[in-house]
Every structure is written in C-alpha cells, then in structure tokens.
Amino acid sequence: MESMTITASDVNRLRQQTGAGMMDCKNALVEANGDFEVATDLLRKKGQKVAAKRGDNEAKEGFILAQASEDGKIGIIMTLNCETDFVAKNATFGQFVQTIMDIALAKLPSTAEELVALPYDDKLTIEQKIVDQVGVIGEKLVLSNFAKVTAEKVAAYNHPGNQLAAIVALNSGSEVAADAGKQVAMQIAAMNPLALNKDGIDEDTIQRELEVGKELAIQEGKPAEMAEKISQGRLNKFFQENTLLSQPFVRDNKLTVEQFLNSAEKGLTVVDFKRFSLS
C-alpha cells in the first residue's frame, strides 16, 4: 500500500492539536499513514516513554499559581514543577498551568489526586495531558503541591516570576476585607509565617525553642532559674516573628497583622492561609 503524502498543513494541524515539535508531528503522521488519531496516540506514547525515562530526574524548578474564584469565596494554589528555569519561564508553560487552574476553579477538587483525574479536554485527563507535555517539552513534570481554601473572602498573591505565591482566607466578604486580604497575602509571601497563631505551632517545635532558649541563656552565664524565664521570653518572641496574626505588619510595623485587620474592619481576621515557594 502506498504511503500517504504528509503536507506541511497536516504537520501544523497536528502540532496545533498536540503542542509537539514539528519533526515529531511529521514522523508520527508518517508512521500513522496520515491518521490524526493514530498519530496523536503515537505522540502520547512518546510522552509516556519520555516520562518514564526522566522519572529519576529532579524537578526543582516550576510555576506556582494562586487564584481566587470569581465570587472570591474559594482560593486555589498549585505548583507544577519542571526541571529547568528555561521551561518554567516559558509563556506556553505558564499558560498550561493557567488552563489547569481554570479547570480547578470550575470543578473545585479538594486534592491534587482529584485534580489530575479531571478531564483536560474531551480526550485526556489532566494527568494524561501532563504526560503528553513531558513528551513535548522533554522534561519531567510533576504537580507537586495543591491546596484549596474556602471562606467569606479569599485573596491571592503571585510574586513576579511565579516562584512564590500565597492565598489568604478571611471571615468577611466586604470590599475592605478584599483589599486587606491582598495586603496580608503579600505579607504571607514575604514573611513566611509558620502558623496563623501560637495555637498552630506544634508542641515539638515549642519544646525545641524552649530548650534552645534555655541553653543560650546558660551559655551567656545566666543562672538556671533565670534561664527558664529567658527561654519563655524568647519563645514569645518566636511566636511574634513566626505566627501571622502576631507578626509586625510589613506596611506599618507599629501594628501587628491582627491589629491592622481590626483597624481596617472591626472583627476582621484570617481564618486560613497557604503559601508555596520553590526555594
């Protein structure tokens, strides 16, 4: 049987559908004798082979995206990792992450596992599309982090470069809360709090901070009974520096974040937050 002639138009059409390279598309169409569905499957298999081959590679670079729903009541933050900064900064890669985010905000999955099982289009799930993109890009891709928060108002902040992002959930749905939330989301990105307040710090961390504080005081020549009090004071300072509501507000360090929120709207506070960073 004579092979079908593959035109530049055919190659371009398959490239538009799959995002694969021109030569990959041409070779797939030749192998499939011009059948677009078969050629698409061949490219998918190529992606799966590349994914398996690169399975041991480290995917430390990536693109982090945080976004709130249109009504501002739900926020999602996710990380799609890749191997190189070159890919992470590629506009097409960023658009791919945005498309996944659009699906997430439409379907509202609760976990990364639920997200990747959702349809990406009428043929592939998100997980299958990620594998396809491994074949297109030639790098390991991993959806490594995903979180969703729900509240009266959710604000998102994406740091330029998309290597750092944060979402913050507040107990009021007002416009004032929306504006304050954006500022607090930036605070979370910049100051990396460990928890909302001291109740969110685990007991092991507290005990470790007390031990370190006590040991430092003893090394400074303080008697044991005084060292206990000094370590407690240092623990309180640790809480102030590492819990969001107690941190000095970056735009006015005379106020804590808690005081800033209350000054913006009486009773306004944060009920949850998430922060993802590549570093």
- Domain with 18, as residue range(s), is 8-53
Question: Do 160 and 85 reside in the same domain of the chain?
Answer: yes
How many folded domains does the chain comprise?
Answer: 2
The model's pTM is 0.85
Assigned domain for 243 exists = no
Report the candidate in 7, 77, 10 with the shortest Cα–Cα distance to residue 38: 10
Question: Do 121 and 80 reside in the same domain of the chain?
Answer: yes
Burial tier of 150 (Cβ tally within 10 Å: 0-12, 13-18, 19+): middle
Assigned domain for 264 exists = no
Residues of the chain whose pLDDT is less than 70? 1-3
Question: Do 45 and 72 reside in the same domain of the chain?
Answer: no
Question: Do 105 and 87 reside in the same domain of the chain?
Answer: yes
Q: At 19, which CATH number?
A: 1.10.8.10
Assigned domain for 266 exists = no
Which of 37, 53, 69 corresponds to the end of one domain?
Answer: 53
Question: Do 31 and 122 reside in the same domain of the chain?
Answer: no
Assigned domain for 46 exists = yes
Q: At 73, which CATH number?
A: 3.30.479.20
Strand 252-256 to 248-249 pairing: antiparallel
Query: What is the reported pLDDT for 1?
Result: 40
Report the candidate in 104, 100, 67 with the shortest Cα–Cα distance to residue 81: 100
Query: What is the reported pLDDT for 3?
Result: 58
Contacts for 65 with CB less than 8 Å, ≥ 6 apart: 77, 78, 97, 98, 101, 158, 162, 165
Query: What is the reported pLDDT for 97?
Result: 98
Assigned domain for 145 exists = yes
How large is the greatest C-alpha to C-alpha distance in the chain, in angstroms? 94
Query: What is the reported pLDDT for 220?
Result: 87
Question: Do 38 and 142 reside in the same domain of the chain?
Answer: no
Assigned domain for 182 exists = no
Strand 74-82 to 252-256 pairing: unpaired
Burial tier of 57 (Cβ tally within 10 Å: 0-12, 13-18, 19+): exposed
Question: Do 71 and 169 reside in the same domain of the chain?
Answer: yes
The C-alpha atoms of residue 74 and residue 150 are separated, in whole angstroms, by 5
Assigned domain for 24 exists = yes
Query: What is the reported pLDDT for 153?
Result: 98
Assigned domain for 233 exists = no
